[in-house]
Amino acid sequence: MYEIEYTLQAVEDLKFFKKYEQKQILDGISIQLRYEPTVETRNRKRMRPNQIADWELRLGKFRIFYNIDEQVLIVEIQRIGEKRGSDFFFHDEQEDMR
């Protein structure tokens, strides 16, 4: 079982969402990433090289970006955002994912 840790940026991202959305996101992270976070699924994918993270978890309109430390079994949540069309938003501001 992997331990899940959050960066300060991810915690700030999470605060932007409504309480029920925060619960949805936290529950989804726990269910999807606690076991086998390195296994690609329909909603869990390795990303192209970018400045944020190696992996992406899709939970409806929400996007969770994370890295994995296989040595100590830690999933580190880097950012939590929202996808609108083909664009990513953090704190309601569009971000370039390249």
* Whole-number Å distance between alpha carbons of 58 and 79: 12
- Which architecture does CATH list for 3-89? 2-Layer Sandwich (3.30)
- Give the pLDDT of residue 87: 82
Contact by Cβ (8 Å): 36, 43: no
Residue 5's SS3 state is strand
Q: What global pTM score does this model have?
A: 0.91
> Which pairing describes strands 44-46 and 74-84: parallel, antiparallel, or unpaired?
unpaired
Q: What is the pLDDT of residues 9-41, one digit of tens each?
A: 999 999 999 999 999 999 999 999 999 999 999
Say what the pLDDT of residue 97 is. 62
**CB 29, CB 4: distance < 8 Å:** yes
* Residue range 56-91, pLDDT digits in tens: 999 999 999 999 999 999 999 999 999 888 888 888
Q: Are 92 and 12 in contact (CB under 8 A)?
A: no
Domain regions of the chain by residue span = 3-89
How many whole angstroms separate alpha carbon 62 and alpha carbon 81? 6
CB 76, CB 69: distance < 8 Å: yes
Say whether pLDDT at 98 is over 70: no
